[in-house]
Structure formats: structure tokens, C-alpha cells
Amino acid sequence: MKAIRLTLICHALTQAQKTGCLHRFLDGILPLDDQPFAVVPDVHVLAAPERRAGETAAWFSPQAKVEPALADCDLGSWQGLALKQLQDEQPEALALWLQDPHSAPHGGESFAALCQRMAGWLAAFDTPGEWLAVTHPMVIRAVMVQVLGCPMSAARRIDVLPLSRLELSFTEHWRLRLVGLREGGG
């Protein structure tokens, strides 16, 4: 059985991230001086449906396929709001959301629901080969929680920076894959 190698890449920096605002579907990435990645031959490229993921995925392949399951966590009525505004106007709701992975005071998706969605996606991902998937910080945290089998509360301790990557492999089960410097791990 041929193995699956899946690299999750966090989208590039957005203005919302730079200014401390929660994401919106149409947020684009900030311009960069140079394209940070070359087009990758023989690698299947997937992208979350949001604009920022598609723009980042275009650096890897002009034919990136949109994968709806990689969508960012639905923040409901909080989309686009500044964290400072939420701290001032809804401090209890924000604290609840940050502490309880099952809460969704914004009316959208809870982190627990996102984890469940990603668990289903990983369980169904069965096509061997080299894959690259451009997605979002919360999605990458949810995948890490699933692969490591750790409590959802551990996700609060994971920083996922723009353009960071998480490498996974699958033969009989998903594993984190640490990459050495000689393998292009930079």
C-alpha cells in the first residue's frame, strides 16, 4: 500500500490578522515582494474555499482544487470583528469561547465541531500520493488535536503562523512527520 503524505500550509498573512480582527470569507492576503514557494510538480494541491487560502494555494499550483472540508471555523456573527471590540463588548462570551471548545456564542461553529469535521475528513482521506492543502490556523490546530489524540484544550497552546506547515503521513494511521533540514525543512 502506497503511503499518503499530506502537508497542511497555513495561508499567508491577511490584514485581519495583522490588525487583530477575526476572519471573513473574502479576506485576501497581503502582498509579498516575492513568491515564497515554487510551483510543486507531482503534488496534488487542495485549498480551503476562502479567498486567502486560494490566493496562497496559487503559489503552489494554478490548478489547486477547492476542498470545502478545509474551510475555516464559522465564526457566525463575530466574523470581521476586532478582538479588542469583543473584549470590550462581550468579554464573558469571548472568555467562554476561548476556554470551552464546545461553546459557540457567536452562533457559528464550535472548535469541537471543527475537530469533528476534520476527524471525518482525515478518516475519508485515502488517496495515496503527495498532497499539499492550504488552510487556516484553527483547522491546522484541529488536525493536530485529532492526530495526536490530545484534549481539545491543548489547541490553545499551538501557534500557527502564516505560511507555517504541518506534515503528516498515513500508512495505517495518521502520524506527524518531522522534517529534517536536508529534506527541505528550512
- Span 109-121, pLDDT tens digits: 999 999 999 999 9
Q: pTM of the entire structure?
A: 0.92
Tens-place pLDDT, residues 57-99: 998 888 899 999 999 999 999 999 999 999 999 999 999 999 9
67 vs 1, more confident:
67
Q: What are phi and psi of 131, to 5 degrees?
A: -130, 145
Q: What dihedral do alpha carbons 144, 148, 154, 156 form, nearest 10°? A: -10
CATH topology of domain 4-177: Rossmann fold (3.40.50)
